[in-house]
Amino acid sequence: DAGVTQSPTHLIKTRGQHVTLRCSPISGHKSVSWYQQVLGQGPQFIFQYYEKEERGRGNFPDRFSARQFPNYSSELNVNALLLGDSALYLCASSLGGKVGNTIYFGEGSWLTVV
Amino acid sequence: AQTVTQSQPEMSVQEAETVTLSCTYDTSESDYYLFWYKQPPSRQMILVIRQEAYKQQNATENRFSVNFQKAAKSFSLKISDSQLGDAAMYFCAYRSTGGTSYGKLTFGQGTILTVHP
């Protein structure tokens, strides 16, 4: 079975532009979370969605938004990109509904803002 | 808010030897989960081991085991018989059981593990 898949794997954007990152969870998983990992640091929680509803939001500005689709895939959108948004963006999925369910991560999308 | 601290930015070990990575956390909750994740150069986060706070028995997965000290809020990872493939960044992570944000993991800063042949 396929794991968590993310696209694109690498991208370069210019300051002020907008970016959309995509994530497909493991088949059967209904919960998707997004994390930002700046080089040399641990991942920081951005959003969690379960059954197409936002269930949690980290300490990120309103330039960051996300949504989950009926097939449980998800998009992370970032507007008005800043140099500091350069990072690895990780998507994670789990069955959802129970806090004990294991969380599985994708390989991430590398975003470079120039 | 919960915090996770890994005080060892880097550790090294000889192949076949044992190494222990440290992690402390701060929380006011009584029930929670703790994890160790491995992140190799490929950057994919791989679950190594998990511990449920209400279980007193330390978790073990093959060569990986933890020392969970709930009162001290300490959660260390022991890797026995270290292998070259164990070289990676290791993250300690906390997951609350409260609220509805089941997907939120709080990570430490990470420890880079080097394995020498």
Task: Quickly state the pLDDT bin for A102 (edges 50, 70, 90).
Answer: confident
Q: State the amino acid at position B46 in one-letter form.
A: I
pLDDT in the model for residue A101: 81
Q: What is the reported pLDDT for A2?
A: 78
Residues of chain A found within 8 Å of residue B100, distances taken between Cβ atoms = 50, 55-56
A11-20, A95-104, B29-38, B57-66: least confident range? A95-104
Distance CA B53, CA B97 (A): 10
pLDDT at B104: 85
Percent of the residues in chain B that have a pLDDT greater than 70, as a whole number: 95
Out of A7-16, A94-103, B88-97, give the one with best mean pLDDT.
A7-16
Q: How far apart are CA B15 and CA A114, in angstroms?
A: 41
Sequence letter at residue A98: K
Could you tell me if A32 lies within 8 Å of chain B, comparing CB atoms?
A: yes
Q: What is the pLDDT of residue A40?
A: 87
- Tokens representing residue B23 in the block: 């992690």
Rounded CA-CA distance B31/B40 in Å is 30
Q: What is the pLDDT of residue B103?
A: 63
Q: How far is B52 from chain A (nearest CA, A)?
A: 9
Question: CB-based contacts of A108: which residues, under 8 Å, 6+ apart?
Answer: A6, A9, A37, A88, A89, A90, A91, B43, B44
Question: What are the tens digits of pLDDT across the range A37-88?
Answer: 998 899 999 999 988 999 889 999 999 999 999 999 999 999 999 999 999 9
Interface test with A, best of B5, B48, B89, B102 (most A CBs within 10 A): B102
| Yes or no, beta carbons of B33 and A103 under 8 Å apart | no
**Each residue's pLDDT tens digit, A3-50:** 999 999 999 999 999 999 999 999 999 999 999 999 889 999 999 998
CA distance B66 to B50: 9
Nearest 5°: CA angle at A111, between A67 and A74?
15
Residues of A in contact with B107 (CB under 8 A): 42-44
Give the closest of A100, A103, A107 to B103, CB-based.
A103
pLDDT tier at B101, thresholds 50, 70, 90: low
Please tell me the predicted confidence (pLDDT) of residue B6.
97
B:4-63 residues touching chain A, CB 8 A cutoff: 4, 33, 37, 42-47, 50, 52
pLDDT confidence tier of residue B99, bands split at 50, 70 and 90: low
- B100–A56: do the CB atoms touch at under 8 Å? yes
Least confident span in A73-87, A96-110, B56-70, B102-116: A96-110
Mean of pLDDT values over B63-80:
97
Give the other-Cβ count within 10 Å of B62's Cβ.
Answer: 9
Contact flag B105-A106 (C-beta cutoff 8 Å): no
Within 8 A of B96 by CB-CB distance, chain A residues are 99
Chain A residue numbers touching B43 (CB-CB < 8 A): 88, 107-108
Among the partner residues A42, A55, A106, nearest to B103 by beta-carbon distance: A55
Looking up tokens 């009162």 gives B71
